[in-house]
Structure 1
Amino acid sequence: MVIAMAETVRILSYNVRSLRDDRAALARVVRACAPDVVCVQESPRFFGWRRAARAMAAAFGLDVVIGGADASGNLLLAGGRVRITAKETLYLRHRRGLHLRGMAMAAVTVGQSAFTVASTHLSLDDAQRRDQAGEVLERLDAFAERERTPTRVLCGDFNSRPDSSEWVTLTSRLADAWQAAPEGEEYTSTAKDPYQRLDAVFVSRDATVMRAGVPTDLARQADMAIASDHRPVLAVVTI
């Protein structure tokens, strides 16, 4: 019998505000975290977005996996240790007059450990956001089941706080990585004056979180303050 060895994976979630801020500082922040996977929200979505995504990935020392405009700005990037076995983009259910939201998902393998990772960005509208919390779980579970990678990591800008009904929905099925193993700082918004947590990494309970939070011990706050209007969340997870 072959026993699969657990792997420790570094996963970064980051709303990059369509690269409208200091790109050199952004690259310094990401590289300081040495991520295996980056789940981006608000990647470029308009003219030249593919070229912009490739340039951003190269600045981070990573490759584009999937996403961008066809996932409403959600994008997955990965490093050399990561093997991609399946990938998908989709749009969440839309309501007229509201911004179209989406997801980028991939089934990945690091060493002998396989898992599903997804990036999403929920609505600013309260009612739509509550619906989307359930929808992203359904979509994530369906993809993971189909690809036989049941360990799940969901990253994103959830436009809500930990006391919201959306977080109750999400944590009914997944663990909040910050609550499991907090390290660094909690608040992700705003980058210049952090006072709230809108961004998070959620993991299925078969994964072990080693640390999670804004990586203030790795990246300089001065860089984070000018790289985007959000701060990133780094989760180090054993799968």
Structure 2
Amino acid sequence: MNIYYDYEGIIGKPQQAHLRNTLEEICELARAIRSQLGKRGYLLDKYLHDLLTAINSTLAYEAADSGFQLSGELLHLCNKLTRGEPVEKEHSLYESVKEYIDTHLLPFQEHVTKVNLYCIGLADTFLGYAIPAFTDEGTEAIRREVDIVSLHERYRKTSNILGSEDQMEKLNLLIRQRFQVTTAMAGFLQGVTNSLLYALTERDTETNKTVLQLWLDGPEKLRIDGGKSHEA
């Protein structure tokens, strides 16, 4: 079955009814928990406020933009090194990018084609740099809003009063379903992926092939050989 047979297969199918039902489930369960907590219902109120604030500390579009913009660092390094221009050697990716470019000679006339192919070849290496960077960024954003230790302590106290974690676990799962339709990390990775998609769909004017076609042709067609990279 072709999962991309229509537009919805690409943009995603709406789940509005599911989202509405989940929101009501959250409210019903929260009311039940507050009732059981009695005078200590404030524990749940504060927990919910801080948790929702933490979830909203990095907006989805900001995360995606961060991923797209950070990909520009790889593009910049590949662009400069392929041209033989001065570049920031202190960048943690510098050595990896330079080594890859120096050992992969490409025959194409178009500079942008070379850069795109290098970005594709270094995509996994870049993720090893980008994911920890965004994790640190997202963690700091949460820290500015919420004390995660205090958040967990309120969860623990509430669960102790209730007699088990069952209700709080269910509440957390419902919150994730309703309020994290996509996580910040997923948004970030999609932004990185969008940058990769641009590289793959760029067309080389010399061969009239897309970069994806050139990549699929394989090393023997790309004539990737050892030696110093240079402009043809």
TM-score by length of 2: 0.25
Which has the larger share of strand?
1
TM-score (norm 1): 0.24
More helix per residue? 2
